[in-house]
Structure 1
């Protein structure tokens, strides 16, 4: 069954659409200080473990916003595509929107065992599962392609725009007691090249073209944002 997890005021995430007349969150995206894709230093090779890495580090930054459910009262299995449905505005003429679907472990998770580190060269910290924010899926989208892959279009600063896209399929069960979280940011470096946040051919961007932009994500009755997923029925 297709269902949508809607962003709510105060950082909530729920299956029901928001009812507020006016509600949004904003952050400043600075290409000179992009959000990294890991909390630790990596080498030339992208570490495979990033695909289910802990995302708690991202929330220490002011340019990442998050929405989270209450603890689940039953297991929820999501299978198939994950489709962000965003209502946004920007002070720039182009911006990226990175959406991450995350499984949040309970703070009282029963094991305190360190997980193995795959690469001896990795400088990743020890991993403990209490409160772990496990990345399930993450995907960027460049706003200028929101209507067409072949005819990019600039954002109008301050004007609400729709950014819909589809992430890779997933087959994941969020267990009872866990929470579902969605994080939104506008950079994911160096997995994704930096967007100057100026509408242009990025390959030709000069340092002066890279500018800060205030990004706004709406969650109100006439401009609801969320993530559409396919939820499997639970078998007893």
Structure 2
């Protein structure tokens, strides 16, 4: 469920130009409107560098909504440090020039560009990917109504579904660096 009146917080204050500051999302990830995927503890260091993106197959009960995907590095104590994220408004999933509202319940494919990053996930750490529809303090919550985002005063609670099966392989693209041998 995504309630625009209770959107998941984005921990950085963009008005203070803090966009590149890593934050600990450990508590935010406990919210029921944040879907969390976490790897097993890594058996060896994993290095990445470059552009990150996500492919998301999702359906919503709403005519419009937002999707945010976040990549985090989780240490042995469970701290979840944000490395990169990206957000897309569903109506612009195909084109910014020709927005198209959702058919409620229909599965759609989203390409979500995330920021470039270089990081070494250390042995014993976990790789975490989170999906949510809210990013309060980063973007205005999408009212989910399908009307004008700038003037809408009403909101709709949306039932969100993420798919990750053979026909709908939601995934994140990580630019892995070769291992030094």
Normalization by structure 1: what TM-score?
0.73
Are 1:163 and 2:110 an aligned pair? yes
CA distance in 2, matches of 1:201, 1:49: 27
1:95 positional shift: 0.8
- Residue 216 of structure 1 is matched in structure 2 by 161
**1:68-83 aligned within 5 A:** 68-83=38-53
Are 1:29 and 2:2 an aligned pair? yes
- Residue 104 of structure 1 is matched in structure 2 by 74
Task: Report how many aligned residue pairs link the two structures.
Answer: 181
CA distance in 2, matches of 1:98, 1:229: 16
Question: Where does structure 2 lack aligned partners over 5 or more consecutive residues?
Answer: none
Normalization by structure 2: what TM-score?
0.94
Question: Where does structure 1 lack aligned partners over 5 or more consecutive residues?
Answer: 1-27, 107-129
1:235 positional shift: 1.0
- Residue 126 of structure 1 is matched in structure 2 by none
Q: Does the 8 Å CA contact 1:79/1:232 hold for their aligned counterparts?
A: yes
Closer, same or farther: CA 44–231 of 1 in aligned 2, 3 Å: closer
Q: CA RMSD in A?
A: 1.7
CA distance in 2, matches of 1:104, 1:150: 38
Q: Bigger radius of gyration, 1 or 2?
A: 1
- Residue 228 of structure 1 is matched in structure 2 by 173
CA distance in 2, matches of 1:57, 1:50: 20
